[in-house]
Structure 1
Amino acid sequence: MPAAADTEPPDYLTLMKAEEMWKVADGSGITVAVVDSGYKPVPGVRSESVLPGVSVMSPPIKEPDKTYPAHDDVEGHGTTMTAAIVGDGTGGAPKGLAPGAKVMPVRTSLGTPMAFAAGAEGAKGIRYAADNGAKIINLSWGDYYAFEKLKPAIEYAQTKGALVFAAMGNQGESNNATNLIAKIPGVLGIGAIDETGEPLASTSHGHTTDLAAYGGKAPIRCKDNTAWCAKDGGTSYATALASASAALVWSAHPDWTANQVARVLIETASPPVDGSKRNDWVGYGVASPSWVLLKKAGNPGAPGIDPLAPAPTNAPTPAPSQTAAAPAEAAAAEAEEEEGLPWQWLALGAVVVVGLGLGFIVTVKRRRG
C-alpha cells in the first residue's frame, strides 16, 4: 500500500466473512447513490463499477454558466466512499464490500470553498438519485441549515423505494453533536467501531443511532485526492459499509422492499454486549450481513412497515421469528464451531463517539420507538 505501508489497515472484510458472502451475493443489480464530493477515477476502482452520475453543484454567482463534472473530486471524500463500496483492492485502494454493485456519484460542493451550499445541493441530488434507479442512498455527511430541504427530499426518495443511510457524525467527546438527518423516520443512523468492536472515541452517539459498522483504520484518499493513506474512516466510512451491507442483502433478495432490508439488518446485527436491545453507541448492533446471506437469519416482515416505527400501543406483542436464529440466540450454539461473530465483543464502557466520518456537522436528534 504505497502511502500507508507503515500502518497497514486491518482486514475487516475477513472479519465480516466477505469472501464467503460473495459466493451468495456481491451486490449485483443494486445501485448505491453516493451523494458526496463526487468521484475521481483512481487506481483501485474499475470504471464499470461507477455510473455517469450527476453534479448538482451550484455555479459561482459571477460564473452562472460554469458546470462541474460528476467524475471529479477535489477533496477525495466521495471517492473514498465509492471505493469502500465497490473498490477492487488494487493500487492501495480498499476492496469494496459490495464489489458487484454500481455506484451513482452525485457531486455536491463538499470539500470546496462552496461547501456551504452542499446541503441544499444534496437535497436536489437525493431526488435525482431516487428518480434514476438508486435503491440505496449513502449520506456520509450532514447539514443542519439545509434540513428543511433535505427532509422532504429524503421522504420523496423513500416514496420511490430507496433506503437511506446517514453517518452519525464525528463530534464525540467535543459536544457529541449528531446528524439531524438520522432523526428522519426510515433513515438509518450509523455509528463507527474499530477492528476490536469498540466504538471509535470520535463517533457521535445518541438515541438516533440505529446500526454501526467498521470505521477504523482504512485506505482513505488523501493529499488532495492524489494518494491512498491509512486513516480512521469514522462514521463516513462506516456508513458506506452499512450501505454496502444493504446492497449485498438486497442483491440476494431483489423482491424485498427497503423496509424489509432494513428490518433484517437490524434483526441480525451483532448486538450490544451490555445486554440491551440497543444503545446509543451502536444502535441495535453492528451490521452483520453474513447472518442473512450465510445463515438465512432474519425475518423481512411486512414490506410496507418501517421497522423503526413505534408499534401501535394496542398491538399484540409479535411472536419471535421462527425463520432462523438471530445472532444473540445462535451465538451460544455456534461457540464450539467457531470462536464467535466478528464485532461481538463491544467494550462500550464509558466510550463516547464523534461526528461525521471525514467530515462534519450537525445537531441533536429524534426517537423512533
Structure 2
Amino acid sequence: MQDTIRRHGAWRRAAGIAGAAVAVSAGTVVPAAADTDSWSYLTKMQAREMWKVADGSGITVAVIDSGVKDGSGWKSSSVLPGVSYIEPPFERPDITYPPHEDFVGHGTSMTAAIVGDGSSGGPKGLAPGAKVLPIRTSVGTPMAFAVASEAARGIRYAADNGAKIINLSIGVTPDWPMDKIKPAVEYAQSKGLLIVSSMGNEGERKNWSNAIASLPGVIGVGAVDETGKAMPFSSHGPDTDLVSIGSKVQIRCEENRGWCVGNGGTSYASSLVSASAALVWSAHPDWTASQVARVLIQTAGAPTDGSKRSDWIGYGVARPRKVLLDREGDPGAPNVDPLAPPAPSKAPAPSTEPTAAAPLRAEAADAESGLPWQWPALGAVVAVGLGLAATVIVKRRRR
C-alpha cells in the first residue's frame, strides 16, 4: 500500500504494512544559501551569549538514527566513531553499514542541529562543544522493519558508552510492540541518562504520537514555528512536554546531497531540546537527568493563553538561556522524575461548571527555537519520525 501526496512544499510518501507506518521529511528542495534566516532561532535563543557560559562541552549526545555522513558540516572531533546495528541482508552477507554513512540524511541533519559548525552550507549546532555518538539503524533501508529492535540495542549501547543524553528523532506507532524498547529505556534511565523523543508528525492526519514519548521519564517534543505557534502536523497529546523550532531550518536535501531549507518537524525540534539539555548539563555537570529536565520544564516559554501546559506545546518552548544567563530554575530533588504523577490524594468533587472546548492549536511564549519524515521501506515498515518550581509536574503516561 503506498500513496504519494504533496504537503508543505515538499514530497511526502507513506507506506504501510500490517498496521505499521513510516514518516520522514525530505525537506523543501531549496538550496540552503537561498535563505539566510534559517539560523535565526539561534539569535532568538541568545546562543552566542550562552556559549560564553557553556557550549555543551563534556556532554555526549547519542543520536539513534540513520547514521551520519562525514564532511557534512562539523569538526571531525565532534562526532565519535559510533556503532551500526544494521544487519546485512541474507543474500549479501558481505555488505557492511558503517555508522558514518547515511542513505537519507535524517541522522546527518539531527547531528548538525546539535554540533554543526556552520560549514558546508549546514547549520550551526546549538551545542557545538558537545559530542555526538552516532548509532545507526535501518532507517531508510529495506530492513527498516528492524528499527525498533535496533534502537533498543542502541539505547543500551549509549548507556554503556558514555552518553548522557539520547536523542530519538525516530519513533513507533502506538500499536507497535514496546517489549524491547521499554526495558532498554528503563536501563538507560537507571544509568542516569536523559532520553528525548520526537512526538511525530502525524497531527494533521491521524494524530498518533510516538509511543516512545509515552514512556515514563521520556521528554516528548513537539514542533513550533518561529513565532511560537504549534505546527499543524506536530503530533500532540498528554505526552507533549516541550517544543522547539521545527520549521524553516537547514536539513539534508533528497538523497543526502547538500543542504536545503525546509521543515525539520518534531525530529529537528527534538534535536534542539537535546542540545538545550546538553548546554544546561555542561554548565551544571553535577546535576542529574531529572534535575536537567526539571529546570528545562520550569523555564520553558509557557502557553500564551495562561495555561500551565497544553497538549500542543506541553509546558512550552525550551529556553536554556533562562537557566544559563538568567540563572532561573530550581533543580530540586536529584532522583525524582519531574514528569511523574504525584502521590494519590483525595479526589475533589466533580465540577458542575461547563468545560470550554480546547483550542485547535496553541502558541508558546517567547518562541526560540515539516514535513512528516517519511522513509520508504521494503517488506515491512516501522514508524520513524520521523512527543515548576520545585514542585512535581504531572505527566499522564501509560505504564
- TM score, norm. by length of structure 1: 0.86
Deviation readout 1:54-83 (Å, 9 max, x if unpaired): 001122122345431111001100000000
Indicate which of 226, 250, 255 corresponds to 1:219: 250
Partner-residue secondary structure (3-state), 2:120: coil
Q: Does 1:47 align with 2:76?
A: yes
CA 1:233–1:300: 2 relative to 1, 3 Å = same
CA 1:298–1:356: 2 relative to 1, 3 Å = farther
Deviation readout 1:94-122 (Å, 9 max, x if unpaired): 00000000000000000112111111111
Partner-residue secondary structure (3-state), 2:119: coil
CA distance in 2, matches of 1:91, 1:33: 23
CA distance in 2, matches of 1:78, 1:10: 19
**Correspondence for 2:150:** 121
Partner-residue secondary structure (3-state), 1:147: coil
**Correspondence for 2:5:** none
Deviation readout 1:247-304 (Å, 9 max, x if unpaired): 0000000000000000000000010111111000110111000000001100101111
Indicate which of 196, 214, 217 corresponds to 1:165: 196
CA distance in 2, matches of 1:355, 1:216: 9
CA distance in 2, matches of 1:172, 1:10: 25
**Structure 1 counterpart of 2:153, which letter?**
K
Q: Is the 8 A contact 1:355 1:361 kept in 2?
A: no
Partner-residue secondary structure (3-state), 2:31: helix
Q: Does 1:287 align with 2:311?
A: no
CA distance in 2, matches of 1:268, 1:86: 23
CA distance in 2, matches of 1:265, 1:169: 21
Deviation readout 1:139-192 (Å, 9 max, x if unpaired): 001023342211111111101111000000001111111001111000000000
How many residues align? The count is 336
C-alpha RMSD of matched pairs (Å): 2.4
Which structure would you say has the larger RCO, counting Cα contacts within 8 Å and 6 or more residues apart? 2
Q: Is the 8 A contact 2:228 2:365 kept in 1?
A: no
Q: Is the 8 A contact 1:204 1:355 kept in 2?
A: no
**Correspondence for 2:283:** 252
Q: Which moved more, 1:242-251 or 1:65-74?
A: 65-74
**Correspondence for 1:6:** 34
Indicate which of 237, 251, 272 corresponds to 1:206: 237
CA distance in 2, matches of 1:216, 1:5: 16
Instruction: Give the unaligned 5+ runs of structure 1.
Output: 316-339, 347-353
Q: Does 1:91 align with 2:120?
A: yes
Instruction: Give the unaligned 5+ runs of structure 2.
Output: 1-28, 347-363, 376-381, 388-394
Indicate which of 11, 20, 26 corresponds to 2:55: 26
* Aligned 1:100-119 pairs, distance under 5 A: 100-119=129-148
Partner-residue secondary structure (3-state), 2:255: coil
**Structure 2 counterpart of 1:287, which letter?**
A
**Correspondence for 2:98:** 69
CA distance in 2, matches of 1:146, 1:125: 17
| Aligned residues with identical type, % of pairs | 61
Q: Is the 8 A contact 1:176 1:355 kept in 2?
A: no
CA distance in 2, matches of 1:2, 1:217: 11
Q: CA deviation at 1:368?
A: 4.1
Deviation readout 1:36-64 (Å, 9 max, x if unpaired): 00011134211110000000112212234
Q: CA deviation at 1:132?
A: 0.3
**Correspondence for 2:299:** 268
**Correspondence for 1:130:** 159
Q: Is the 8 A contact 2:196 2:221 kept in 1?
A: yes
CA distance in 1, matches of 2:227, 2:316: 14
Q: CA deviation at 1:223?
A: 2.6
Deviation readout 1:310-343 (Å, 9 max, x if unpaired): 111359xxxxxxxxxxxxxxxxxxxxxxxx9731
Moved over 4 A (4+): 354-360
CA 1:244–1:10: 2 relative to 1, 3 Å = closer
**Structure 2 counterpart of 1:18, which letter?**
A
CA distance in 1, matches of 2:128, 2:365: 23
Deviation readout 1:220-262 (Å, 9 max, x if unpaired): 0113112100010000000000000000000000000000000
CA 1:198–1:277: 2 relative to 1, 3 Å = same
**Structure 2 counterpart of 1:97, which letter?**
L
Q: CA deviation at 1:356?
A: 5.4
CA distance in 1, matches of 2:367, 2:108: 26
Q: Which moved more, 1:36-45 or 1:286-295?
A: 36-45
**Correspondence for 1:361:** 383
Partner-residue secondary structure (3-state), 2:64: strand
CA distance in 2, matches of 1:66, 1:121: 17
CA distance in 2, matches of 1:302, 1:216: 35
Q: Is the 8 A contact 1:2 1:91 kept in 2?
A: no
**Structure 2 counterpart of 1:30, which letter?**
I
**Correspondence for 2:216:** 185
Partner-residue secondary structure (3-state), 1:45: coil
CA 1:141–1:75: 2 relative to 1, 3 Å = same
Q: Is the 8 A contact 2:226 2:367 kept in 1?
A: yes
CA 1:73–1:362: 2 relative to 1, 3 Å = closer
**Correspondence for 2:205:** 174
CA distance in 1, matches of 2:371, 2:339: 22
Q: Is the 8 A contact 2:67 2:100 kept in 1?
A: yes
